[in-house]
Amino acid sequence: MQPAFQATFRNRVRLRHLHCFVAVAQTQHLGLAGEQLGLSQPAVSKTLTELEALLGARLLTRGRAGTDLTELGQRFLRHALRVLEDLDEAADSIGSSAAAGRRHLRLGALPSVVPDLLQEAVLAFRRAHPEVGLAVQTGMNRTLIDWLKADLLDIVIGRMDNPAVMEGLWFEMLNAEPLLLAVRKGHPLSTLPPSMADVMAFPLVVPAQGSVPRHSAESLLARHGFVLPNGVLETADAYLGQLIALKSDAVWLAPRCAMRQALEDRERVLLPISGQGSEEPVGLLRQGGRDLDDAAEAFVQDLRERAAARSRGLAPKARG
């Protein structure tokens, strides 16, 4: 960056530009960022346009579904966060000693792990470390990775991605989660050993488009000679999936971790159709070379132990 450009940017940029940009990056939506900041959506858009004009670069791409950071946007986000964090530390340094010693763990997780692994780990962490703040964000795998790289998260429970995306990150496998099929208690398929052809006669609830489990679901159907039909319900939300399966004749196709709790309440029944070959590694992602504090390391170790116990648990009796 040229000295003249640096001076111009430094003189014209305002904290409102940084606050607005960070809010949009975190919410991935102009309207939600506006609600967070107490601004209208046009005001948020105008502020972002001003910031991009000052930088002479596009930081965000805008679409109907929300916003995404460009490569330059991801880079700028790290600096914007650092500026705001430095200001917070400056305020803390002249505030109370309690504020200066505050600790916080920022965790990202796939929606499928929330009802099972994450729920119990969070409860245990709250009991063991009530003094440590815990913020949990759920999202699609690529989004969580982007947030981790942008230093919006400390740890992610997610999946491997391609090597270019994983650059600079460490991945530690916890377990491999196969796809399972489940229906409500009393469903016509629950009283007989069904084939995949029997399953395809009913509505399907499947993982969201663009996710690794969705690709695995399509591959599983292909191995049985089927393609995903029109009219399926697509969702990454495990809670919605289990509710639809409970209150209708839909067949729920999801990773094991998403449905374990739903099956334990005995209101859903696991279908004896093999999901072999659909296993995808779920694990911990973190920034390479970055140390975690004692509380975060304890949380990670608890996740390891719970995942090891889970891998010895629920599994369907396969039918070829």
Q: In the chain, what are the domains?
A: 3-93 (1.10.10.10), 102-176+281-310 (3.40.190.10), 179-270 (3.40.190.10)
Q: Averaging pLDDT over each range in 70-74, 95-99, 146-150, which range is the top one? A: 70-74
User: What token pair was written down for 158?
Assistant: 């997610």
- CA nearest neighbour of 101 among 125, 133, 137: 133
Distance in angstroms (rounded) separating the CA atoms of residues 56 and 54: 6
Q: Per-residue pLDDT averaged across 4-33, rounded?
A: 86
- On the question of pLDDT at 256 being above 70, the answer is yes
Burial of 227 (0-12, 13-18, 19+ CB in 10 A): exposed
pLDDT value for 316: 43
- On the question of pLDDT at 320 being above 50, the answer is no
User: What token pair was written down for 49?
Assistant: 């346009």
Asked whether the beta carbons of 132 and 103 are under 8 A apart, the reply is: yes
Other beta carbons within 10 Å of 140:
17
- On the question of pLDDT at 91 being above 90, the answer is no
- The predicted-structure confidence for 121-155, as pLDDT tens digits, reads as follows 899 999 999 888 899 988 888 888 888 888 888 99
User: What token pair was written down for 165?
Assistant: 């995306």
